[in-house]
């Protein structure tokens, strides 16, 4: 296991962001089939309006994605993914030049084109497992890299996910990935335990309860809980009715050391952060 003092800053386009104070990442899905807001931001104009709303409500990062990773989602070609995300990234940067955009993709080519178009962070659900060139691309581009844990692929991840010790297995997985990235000179690394990705309801809540364990890896932790099935199935509702549950889960994540909340509803997440800071202050790391 990699144990060291936790790094709290990331460098985005020459701007240092200190994650000791938790921040909010606003989701901008430009897909027709995402589980909650699919089709909502299909036009560039709508996506830019969504980005504006997120920024006005306090988002530090905008996460633009053009490939739905929900279970059973349709496969999208690399070209189609590029055609979805690149115009949106360029339009957001044109309207809001200082905005910090992460590109939500597992493809190194899409990541490269997105960074070239104005994005400054790569957010990879596969941690390099679905594109062997991703780590080299991250190293060459010298940008912050968010990597997520997922058992299997989006098509197979919910087919009876099994662990002997989920917390230890996720920790070991990230430890190996972090070591590999460090050897390539990558310093700005963020980990996402992957709520809902190859995990049962029990696995998800055990991971949330033990989120602070991942601080041992010495890198910031992102929690992506927003309106997921782990929330709405437990509450016997749906994604649309899962805002209250999301707020509760995000509050627990912050208390357990999350540095970034990835959400659909920025205003509510920012308020969670403010209340958490008022009680606990910045993370003691």
The one catalytic residue in 53, 107, 228, 274 is: 228
Q: Decide if 262 is catalytic.
A: yes
Contact 38, 68 (CB under 8 A): yes
Q: Is 64 helix (H, G, I), strand (E, B) or coil?
A: strand
The one catalytic residue in 70, 84, 227, 262 is: 262
Q: Among candidates 175, 154, 150, 176, which has minimal Cα distance to 163?
A: 150
Contact 178, 219 (CB under 8 A): yes
> Where are the chain's structural domains?
9-280
Q: What superfamily in CATH does domain 9-280 come from?
A: Dihydropteroate synthase-like (3.20.20.20)
**pTM of the full structure:** 0.92
Structure tokens at 281: 């202050």
Q: Tell me the pLDDT of the chain (285 aa) as tens digits.
A: 444 567 889 999 899 999 999 999 999 999 875 544 544 557 899 999 999 999 999 999 999 999 877 666 667 899 999 999 999 999 999 999 999 999 999 999 999 999 999 999 999 999 999 999 999 999 999 999 999 999 865 665 566 778 899 999 999 999 999 999 999 999 999 999 999 998 999 999 999 999 999 999 999 999 999 999 999 999 999 999 999 999 999 999 999 999 999 999 999 999 999 999 998 887 654
Q: Count Cβ neighbours within 10 Å for each residue of 178-196 and write b for 16 or more, e otherwise.
A: beebeeeebebbbbbbbbb
Q: In what order do the strands lie in the sheet with 260-263?
A: 189-192, 145-148, 121-124, 100-104, 61-65, 23-29, 260-263, 222-223
- C-alpha to C-alpha distance for 60 and 63, rounded to whole angstroms: 10
184 CA to centre of own chain: 22
Contact 199, 207 (CB under 8 A): yes
**Half-sphere exposure (Cβ direction) of 159: Cα atoms closer than 13 Å:** 6
């Amino acid at each position: 296991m990699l144990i060291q003092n936790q790094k709290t800053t990331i460098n985005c386009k020459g701007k240092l962001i200190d994650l000791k104070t938790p921040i909010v990442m606003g989701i901008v899905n430009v897909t027709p089939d995402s589980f909650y807001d699919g089709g909502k931001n299909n036009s560039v104009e709508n996506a830019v309006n969504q980005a504006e709303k997120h920024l006005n409500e306090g988002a530090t990062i905008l996460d633009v994605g053009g490939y739905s990773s929900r279970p059973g989602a349709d496969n999208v070609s690399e070209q189609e993914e590029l055609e979805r995300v690149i115009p949106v990234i360029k339009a957001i940067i044109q309207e809001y030049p200082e905005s910090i955009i992460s590109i939500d993709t597992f493809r190194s080519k899409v990541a490269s084109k997105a960074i070239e178009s104005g994005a400054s962070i790569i957010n990879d659900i596969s941690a390099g497992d679905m594109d062997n060139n991703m780590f080299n691309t991250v190293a060459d581009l010298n940008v912050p890299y968010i990597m997520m844990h997922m058992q299997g692929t989006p098509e197979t991840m919910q087919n009876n996910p099994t662990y002997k010790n989920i917390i230890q297995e996720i920790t070991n997985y990230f430890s190996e990935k972090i070591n590999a990235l460090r050897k390539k000179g990558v310093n700005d690394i963020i980990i996402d335990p992957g709520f809902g990705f190859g995990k049962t309801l029990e696995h998800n809540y055990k991971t949330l309860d033990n989120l602070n364990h991942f601080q041992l890896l010495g890198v910031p932790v992102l929690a992506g809980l927003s309106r997921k099935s782990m929330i709405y199935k437990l509450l016997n509702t749906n994604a649309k009715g899962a805002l209250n549950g999301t707020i509760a889960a995000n509050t627990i994540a912050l208390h357990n050391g999350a540095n970034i909340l990835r959400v659909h509803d920025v205003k509510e997440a920012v308020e969670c952060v403010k209340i958490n800071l008022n009680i606990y202050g910045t993370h003691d790391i």
